[in-house]
Chain A
Amino acid sequence: MLSVDTTQLLKGVLDAAVLAVVEQEDGYGYDIVRRLRARGVESGEASVYGTLRRLYASGSLTSYVVPSEEGPHRKYYGITPHGREALNIQRKEWQEFAGTVAGLLGERNEAAR
């Protein structure tokens, strides 16, 4: 479980996290929240829903409605080629960033020893 501070960190990468989850498999709003949580990413539900709308609006996601036997119809999201591209870019950026930060933090840790 992430603390409040890491929730702040997460905000910068929520787009990538949501895209990554949807890339694995199409899903609807709460389903994506659940899968993020299963991977240890605890984000506000409303944040996830809002992110889904925004990614859809920017063309990274596509959506379709799946009729449900019981309960309401569900709006599923799938990733688009544009979204895949964006995800790849964000992956690279994140890895570079994480490496830089890890290097920085690691150095200090070593220096502290």
Chain B
Amino acid sequence: MSTITSSDALSAHVRGYAQAVRLHLADLGQDAVDDLTDGLEADLTEAVLDEAAAPADGAGTQALDLAVRFGPADEYATELRTAAGLPPAAGARAGRGPGHAIGEAWTVMSERWRSFWRPLTSTPGWAAFVEFARSIAPAWWILRGWVGAQVVMWPFGMADVTLWPSSTAGRILVIAAIVVSVQWGRGRWIPRWTWFPRAVAVASVAAALLAIPMVTDVEADSRPVVADYYSGFDSGFDEGFNNALVSQDGAGNGPEVDGVWVDGMRVSNLFAYDAAGDPIRDVQLFDDRGRPVRTIGSDATWDTWSVPDVAGDWSFQPATASDGRTRWNVYPLRALLAEQIGGPDGDGDLYDLEGQEYPVPPTGVQPQEMPWPFLKAPTAIDDGGAAGAGSGSGTGTDSNSDAGSDEPGESGEPNQGRPGSDHPASDPAGEPVRPGERPTSGSGSREPTLEATQAD
């Protein structure tokens, strides 16, 4: 008879075969499977050993291929289920192989799905709904084609979802996809592959799911176009993105949102240079109606921004006017590292900050200046030759701009415009700064209306 090893191998084979049979019966439910195959291993083992004992020698190993002895597991399962008077397996037994298995699984799954919804789908209301849905099906076919075209365009860099692509190829693709989708909807142009209707069904569900974000995206496309989506101002950008939507859609009626946009990107800070190209600090900016220009809207004062050439997340700080009120339209804005944010006691506990308008620096921490994009503006304005008498022609050069894009650090920090130095660039007395004109400190003839004091 068999040695220990071969009997171990036999029991492993028997278990595997029995398991395969159970899998083919799985649609009957666990109880029925257990009932049908209870003791199956023992019966199989005995049958194999019976046979192995009868012929003289070597038959034991031969019989180990149980599919040869008992037939394929699915046929065995079918015989078992038929003899037991149970319904045949769901799904046509058209063929075997992975495709067949997938088809079977699909049928079982869809039947379960249908029976799950049957209480709902058997109502007259549902029938009316289906009839209605049928009548608007063509609209769905068009949408499906459009979604399909967007998906096809995705890997080709045409990822910006638009209702009507700008490229000719994209337009042709959209039209072709819609035509194909409508034809499929009408039951035309459908290849004869048996798996094809199922594939279309799956793809349609996927298209329906994809359509939601795509349509939302297209809806959002009525705002300034996004050019440099992911460079830097992540959180602030997304915030601004949404704010822009609100302000656009609201058309003045929505919540008031401030912000400055350049090239489709939200601006966090502004840097002013005078006509000679020299940096000016603490410039107060107003629009043509006298409203303060804010890059950081009142709803965005807690946002953190990343800043080119400087690591970390930064929270911008307003200037303080002489009357003690904060002014957000004084540029460049100073900033605090996000880690430095804390309550007045400096323990970094954000709860201390509840109710604050913006992240207040802890005691002893001063907001920092942000690096200037240029030490000197690359261009000087030739305003009748009056520009920058002290600094010569002041024509910007490439070397200047290169130096400026590097980290200015402390030595490179422009201090020409430092308040209190020789050339304060903004007039703390509220004197407008005009190109070519460099107001000097304290020279303002008017009554000071607003004084931007610096934490510097």
Please report A residues at the B interface, Cβ cutoff 8 Å: 14, 28-30, 33-34, 44-51, 53-54, 57, 71-75
Contact = CB atoms under 8 A, between A and B. Distances in A.
Contact of A50 (B38, B39, B47, B79): B79
B266 interface: no
Interface in B52-105: 70, 76-77, 79-86
A30 B79 contact: no
Interface string B400-415: 0000000000000000
Chain B interface size band reads: 20 to 34
Nearest to B35: A53
Given A49-B80, A54-B83, A72-B41, A33 B47 contact: yes
Nearest to B32: A53
Nearest to A11: B83
17 contacts: A29-B39, A29-B42, A30-B42, A30-B46, A45-B70, A46-B76, A46-B80, A47-B79, A47-B82, A47-B83, A48-B83, A49-B36, A49-B83, A50-B82, A50-B83, A54-B85, A75-B38
A44 B79 contact: yes
Contacts of A28: 39, 42-43
A46 B70 CA distance: 9
B83 A74 contact: no
Contacts of A48: 83
Interface of B: 35-36, 38-43, 45-47, 50, 70, 76-77, 79-86
A99 to B, nearest CB: 27
B81 A50 contact: yes
A32 B260 CA distance: 89
B341 to A, nearest CB: 70
A75 B41 CA distance: 12
- SS class, residues of chain B in contact with chain A: helix
Contacts of A75: 38-39
Contact of B83 (A30, A33, A34, A51): A51
A72 B15 CA distance: 13
A53 B70 CA distance: 19
Contacts of A46: 70, 76-77, 79-80, 83
Given A45-B70, A46-B76, A53-B35, A30 B84 contact: no
Nearest to A72: B42
Given A53-B35, A75-B38, A45 B84 contact: no
Contacts of B79: 44, 46-47, 50
A51 B38 contact: no
A76 to B, nearest CB: 10
B82 A30 contact: no
A74 B42 contact: yes
Given A30-B46, A47-B79, 13 more contacts: A28-B43, A29-B43, A33-B47, A44-B79, A45-B70, A46-B80, A47-B83, A50-B36, A50-B81, A53-B84, A71-B42, A74-B39, A74-B42
In the A-B complex, the 9 residue pairs with the closest CB atoms: A50-B83, A50-B84, A46-B79, A30-B43, A46-B80, A47-B83, A29-B43, A53-B84, A50-B80
Given A14-B83, A34-B50, A54-B85, A49 B35 contact: no
A44 B55 CA distance: 20
Given A45-B70, A46-B76, A54 B41 contact: no
Contact of B43 (A14, A45, A47, A53): A45
B47 A45 contact: yes
Among A34, A47, A49, A57, chain B packs the most CB atoms within 10 A around the CB of: A49
Nearest to B82: A50
Contacts of B81: 50
Nearest to B79: A46
Contacts of B82: 47, 50
Contacts of B85: 50, 54, 57
A46 to B, nearest CB: 4
Contact of B40 (A47, A49, A51, A74): A49
A34 B49 CA distance: 12
A73 B82 CA distance: 26
B39 A72 contact: yes
A56 B35 CA distance: 11
Q: Which of A14, A45, A72, A74 has the most CB of B within 10 A?
A: A45
A45 B79 CA distance: 9
Contacts of A44: 79
A28 B42 CA distance: 10
